[in-house]
Chain A
């Protein structure tokens, strides 16, 4: 099975711009979560999608949004970029609850976003 893929891998943007990141989960996984990882704040949960619906949301401003498509692929968008948004953005997919392994998250390689 192919792993979680994320595009692009690296991105450089300017303050005020917006960015869209893409994530393709492992085939059969319907839950997709997004995280922001920075040296100072560690791994922080952004949101989780399941069957095209946002089930959970972390404590991030409304500039951070996401969506999921019918094929479980997900995108996250950050508008009006700030310098502090520079981070590694990780996407993770999980097996369904019925599999009994919903606690396992499989992470993609991440998108390294640099805001200048």
Chain B
């Protein structure tokens, strides 16, 4: 089976940098995705790592290391609007099509 672990909560101040980790146990997957969800809102796609290494999208970067079964989302120049829950997700390799397994989510609180 597949399972992902994330810290339940992270707190940081405006302007700072924060890293949200995701560790996983899975027999194989296509890639690691990250989603952001504000309270009362729908998850929105942030980033995807199909290969090991760093992917950068504006203030957000995501990293994957398959050998370490580990990935992270890095948020720079934090803003108040970044306060939200962040989920990592994988698509198991033994499935055809879309079958995302989501982590439990990390609630990020950005303080002024």
* Distance in Å: Cβ of A113 to nearest Cβ of chain B: 15
The total of chain B residues at the interface (CB under 8 A) is 25
The chain B residue sitting closest to A103, CB to CB, is B48
| CB neighbors of A among B40-96 (8 A) | 41-45, 48, 50, 87, 89, 91, 95-96
The chain A residue sitting closest to B41, CB to CB, is A109
The total of chain A residues at the interface (CB under 8 A) is 24
Q: A104-B48, A109-B41, A110-B42 are in contact. Are A43 and B97 (CB under 8 A)?
A: no
CB-CB under 8 A from A109, the residues of chain B are 41-42
| CB neighbors of B among A86-116 (8 A) | 90, 92, 94, 102-110
CB-CB under 8 A from B101, the residues of chain A are 45
CB-CB under 8 A from B104, the residues of chain A are 42
A103 touches B50 (CB 8 A): yes
A106 touches B45 (CB 8 A): yes
B102 touches A56 (CB 8 A): no
* Distance in Å: Cβ of B31 to nearest Cβ of chain A: 6
A90 to B44, CA, bound (A): 12
* B23 close to A (CB within 8 Å): no
A33 to B102, CA, bound (A): 13
* Distance in Å: Cβ of B39 to nearest Cβ of chain A: 12
A105 touches B98 (CB 8 A): yes
The chain B residue sitting closest to A88, CB to CB, is B42
A31 touches B97 (CB 8 A): yes
* A8 close to B (CB within 8 Å): no
* Distance in Å: Cβ of B105 to nearest Cβ of chain A: 6
Q: Report which B residues bind A (CB closer than 8 A).
A: 30-31, 33, 35, 41-45, 48, 50, 87, 89, 91, 95-105
Extra A-B contacts (5), CB below 8 Å, given A42-B105, A56-B97, A107-B44? A42-B102, A50-B97, A103-B30, A104-B45, A107-B42
